[in-house]
């Protein structure tokens, strides 16, 4: 059996003296989509940050495809095949769409810019018309599409996506999720953080629910009940 794409073993991490993750255990098998759910402040984004190197874990292990990567700087984790798409602003607002796509090729010398454009515009035709505009002037949905281009083009070993639907209109969210579903169908391994539980669960192989810096539930989506309660405090 090959090593899982991602394995977190008792990961502790935080900012300064404030620990946010109190021992996270999580396995993402190769070729599966795991969605990480939970209320604001549960530690979802910090978990992603601990994986992609924005935050160095204070204890525990982060294994990517069996390799120990704790404390490696972000760019090195990226070179190891992890594509991390951060929350909200996954684009460089003062670069044009074309220039943003050029950034995607930063460590992929085999990719030509025309290939990147071709594949991106095939998936998101509306970006083609905006090629020469600053990314910051695009709508939120177009920005998210542009951010997703890196995942589409670079064929990463592991894709981390943080709240891709945040603040977007439902039709755009649907488009983004189509892409995510398709990438998974093509065999990509994905860890998807969402507040929008419903959408994420519809394409996930597994769901992990976080609360207070730990994974409290890990199961198949069908076995998960009452996620809504965690967000709006309806059950409180």
Find the part of the chain contacting other proteins (CB under 8 A) among 3-11, 58-66, 101-109, 117-125.
101-109
Q: What are the residues facing 162 on neighbouring strands?
A: 193
- CA distances in angstroms from 4 to 26, 32, 111, 113, listed in the order given: 10, 10, 27, 32
As measured in angstroms, the least distance from the Cβ of 71 to other proteins is 14
Residue 233 in contact with other proteins, rule: CB under 8 A: yes
DSSP string, 74-138: HHHHHHTTEEEE-SS--S-TTSBHHHHHHHHGGG-TT--HHHHHHHHHHH-HHHHTTTTSBGGGS
Q: Which of 67, 68, 75, 216 binds other proteins (CB under 8 A)?
A: 75
Find the part of the chain contacting other proteins (CB under 8 A) among 2-10, 61-69, 74-82, 117-125.
74-82
As measured in angstroms, the least distance from the Cβ of 139 to other proteins is 9
Q: Which of 56, 118, 122, 220 binds other proteins (CB under 8 A)?
A: 220
Residues 103-132 that bind other proteins (CB under 8 A): 103-107
Residues 126-185 that bind other proteins (CB under 8 A): 133-134, 136-138, 140, 150, 163, 165-168, 170, 173, 181
Q: How far apart are CA 63 and CA 10, in angstroms?
A: 11
Q: How far apart are CA 188 and CA 205, in angstroms?
A: 12
């Amino acid at each position: 059996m090959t090593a899982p794409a991602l394995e977190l073993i008792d990961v502790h991490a935080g900012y300064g003296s404030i620990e946010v993750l109190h021992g996270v255990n999580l396995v993402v098998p190769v070729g599966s989509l795991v969605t990480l759910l939970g209320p604001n402040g549960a530690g979802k984004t910090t978990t992603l940050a601990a994986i992609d190197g924005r935050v160095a874990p204070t204890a525990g292990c982060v294994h990517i495809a069996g390799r120990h990567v704790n404390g490696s700087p972000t760019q090195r984790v990226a070179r190891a095949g992890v594509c991390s798409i951060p929350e909200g602003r996954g684009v460089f607002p003062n670069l044009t769409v074309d220039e943003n796509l050029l950034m995607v090729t930063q460590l992929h010398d085999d990719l030509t810019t025309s290939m990147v454009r071709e594949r991106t515009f095939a998936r998101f035709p509306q970006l083609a018309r905006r090629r020469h505009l600053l990314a910051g002037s695009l709508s939120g949905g177009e920005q998210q599409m542009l951010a997703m281009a890196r995942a589409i083009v670079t064929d990463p070993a592991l894709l981390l996506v943080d709240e891709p639907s945040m603040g977007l209109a439902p039709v755009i969210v649907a488009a983004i999720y189509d892409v995510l579903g398709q990438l998974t169908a093509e065999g990509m391994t994905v860890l998807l953080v969402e507040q929008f539980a419903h959408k994420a669960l519809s394409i996930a192989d597994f769901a992990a629910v976080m609360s207070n810096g730990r994974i409290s539930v890990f199961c198949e989506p069908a076995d998960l009940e009452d996620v809504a309660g965690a967000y709006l405090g309806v059950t409180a």
